[in-house]
């Protein structure tokens, strides 16, 4: 591993398979290094859970991780295809010392990634990741033959997670009489999500539930919910839902085929929890959450705070405030009394519980949430540069904010993964927000060396 490059990013490591760092030798080294740290902290034969999504490269990376961990003296529990939140849950339920997710979430099949959970299914502490990264720089040396780890396949992993999800749905409610289109993105939810909903009484129309290793997220799932929405209308279903490849996100469509994003899911989940007396405190969104969500929650007496973009920032603000519910417009919603990370299936059940409790259709249930039009523009830069240090951009932002007053917002930020500036302008008038966003974009292009016209 090059000392000039950091292995772990803000949420594990991700990239194109075959390119550094998603190569068999690096993943083998990662498994061994993680195993060495675990054996040092937990004695002989700690246990690590490994789960994956449906990418063809999952076989390769799973084998490399298993070899590295076993070589360090760690026993491995193999879950097979399993949503990321299911891996977090089973890390806790199986009392494992760590969990590993092999997934690139909503990316195409060519990419893959590794994310680590600590005991209890929570994110691995930064200091442990740092220790693993230091260990990766050491020569790989296997444990003595008598101390090598074993691997065991957990055949009932899917059934365990299905039961967990069902237990988050109120026992006094049912989904009987409901027809739901379920788009599994040819990903990790393809076995479990339809089964959960059927066992709770729903009639399920499956979509994108035939993974072949290459079709994950391919024009389906939460990033491409249009097909799911069309299927809802064609089938005359009550609503539909689309998960992403690893199952930690979900977005919806109502009976008319209109999309309800993560802000809508978060709104309904908050109402459901509030009415049951389960909402302790307020709700955390991000700077990209729609102003309409903030206003709708305020009308229900629910406080709302904004974190930076990214689930780790949402989780941190929830922890700091001792709150339990938060999420992002992408459909990544977390309820910390139900799971330790975002869980698409559990989020869907929270939304469905609100509909079942009120007897409302999804269209009616979200009527109290009025979205403000948002325009988003991404500018790729010729080199990475901090937008907050450019006076001309700051002046352009101030001008737009002055025009919008309290009836809109401006967010201009650097991408966390690319040399890009992302611009979002939100206001009452869609055409004007587009003009204002493009005005800021012109200043960014002129002052920051854009790589594109």
- Identify whether 21 is preceded by a cis peptide bond (ω within 30 of 0): yes
Tokens of residue 63, six digits: 């084998």
Q: What is the DSSP string of 313-363?
A: HHHHHHHHHT--EEE-TTS-EEETTT-SS--HHHHHHHHHHHHHHHT--HH
What six digits make up the tokens of 247?
């199952």
The bridge status of strand 325-327 relative to strand 283-286 is parallel
Classify burial at 224, counting beta carbons within 10 Å of its beta carbon; exposed 0-12, middle 13-18, buried 19 or more.
middle
The active-site residue, picked from 57, 103, 105, 222, is: 105
Q: Which residue has the tokens 């009527």?
A: 367
CA angle 243, 335, 320 (to 5 degrees): 130
Asked whether 342 and 247 are in contact (CB, 8 A), the reply is no
Answer for the pair 440, 400: CB distance below 8 angstroms, yes or no: yes
Is residue 105 part of the annotated active site? The answer reads: yes
Give CA–CA dist 215/218, Å, rounded: 5
Q: Give the torsion through C-alpha atoms of 303, 413, 422, 321, to 10 deg.
A: -20
Task: In whole angstroms, give the CA distance from residue 87 to residue 287.
Answer: 29
Query: Is residue 308 packed enough to be buried (19+ CB in 10 Å), middle (13-18) or exposed (0-12)?
Result: middle
By C-alpha distance, which of 245, 213, 253, 251 is closest to 229?
253
- From the list 80, 22, 93, the residue with the least C-alpha distance to 53 is 80
* 386: DSSP letter: -
- The strand pairing partners of 450, in sequence order, are 381
Residue 43: which residues within 8 A CB-CB, separation 6 or more? Answer: none
Residues tagged active-site: 105
């Amino acid at each position: 591993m090059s000392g000039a490059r950091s292995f772990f990013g803000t949420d594990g490591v991700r990239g194109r398979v075959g390119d550094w760092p998603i190569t068999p030798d690096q993943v083998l080294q990662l498994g061994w290094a993680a195993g060495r740290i675990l054996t040092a902290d937990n004695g002989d034969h700690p246990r690590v859970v490994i789960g994956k999504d449906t990418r063809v490269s999952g076989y390769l990376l799973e084998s490399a991780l298993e070899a590295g961990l076993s070589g360090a003296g760690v026993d491995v529990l193999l879950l097979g295809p399993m949503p990321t939140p299911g891996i977090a849950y089973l890390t806790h339920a199986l009392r494992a010392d760590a969990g590993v997710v092999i997934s690139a979430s909503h990316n195409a099949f060519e990419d893959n990634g590794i994310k680590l959970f600590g005991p209890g299914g929570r994110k691995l502490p930064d200091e442990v990741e740092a220790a693993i990264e230091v260990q990766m720089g050491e020569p790989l040396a296997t444990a003595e033959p008598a101390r090598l780890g074993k691997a065991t396949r957990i055949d009932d992993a899917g059934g365990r997670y299905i039961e967990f999800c069902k237990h988050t749905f109120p026992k006094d409610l049912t989904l009987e009489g409901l027809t739901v289109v379920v788009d599994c993105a040819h990903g990790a939810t393809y076995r479990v999500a339809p089964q959960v909903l059927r066992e709770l009484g729903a009639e399920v129309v499956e979509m994108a539930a035939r993974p072949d290793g290459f079709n994950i997220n391919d024009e389906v799932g939460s990033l491409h919910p249009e097909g799911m929405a069309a299927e809802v209308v064609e089938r005359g279903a009550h609503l539909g839902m689309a998960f992403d490849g690893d199952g930690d996100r979900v977005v919806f469509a109502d009976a008319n085929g209109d999309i309800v994003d993560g802000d809508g899911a978060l709104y309904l989940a908050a109402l459901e929890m509030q009415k049951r007396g389960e909402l302790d405190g307020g709700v955390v969104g991000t700077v990209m959450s729609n102003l309409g969500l903030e206003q709708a929650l305020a009308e229900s007496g629910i406080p709302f705070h904004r974190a930076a973009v990214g689930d780790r920032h949402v989780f941190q603000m929830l922890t700091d405030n001792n709150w339990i519910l938060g999420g992002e417009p992408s459909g990544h919603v977390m309820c910390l009394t139900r799971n330790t990370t975002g869980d698409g299936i559990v989020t869907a059940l929270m939304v469905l519980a609100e509909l079942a409790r009120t007897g409302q259709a999804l269209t009616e249930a979200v009527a109290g949430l009025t979205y403000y039009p948002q325009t988003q523009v991404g500018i790729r830069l010729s080199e990475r540069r901090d937008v907050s240090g450019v006076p001309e951009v700051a002046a352009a932002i101030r001008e737009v904010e002055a025009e919008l007053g309290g009836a809109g917002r401006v967010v201009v930020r650097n991408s966390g993964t690319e040399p890009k500036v992302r611009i979002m302008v939100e206001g009452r008038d869609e055409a004007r927000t587009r003009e204002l966003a493009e005005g800021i974009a012109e200043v960014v292009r002129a002052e920051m060396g854009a790589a594109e016209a």
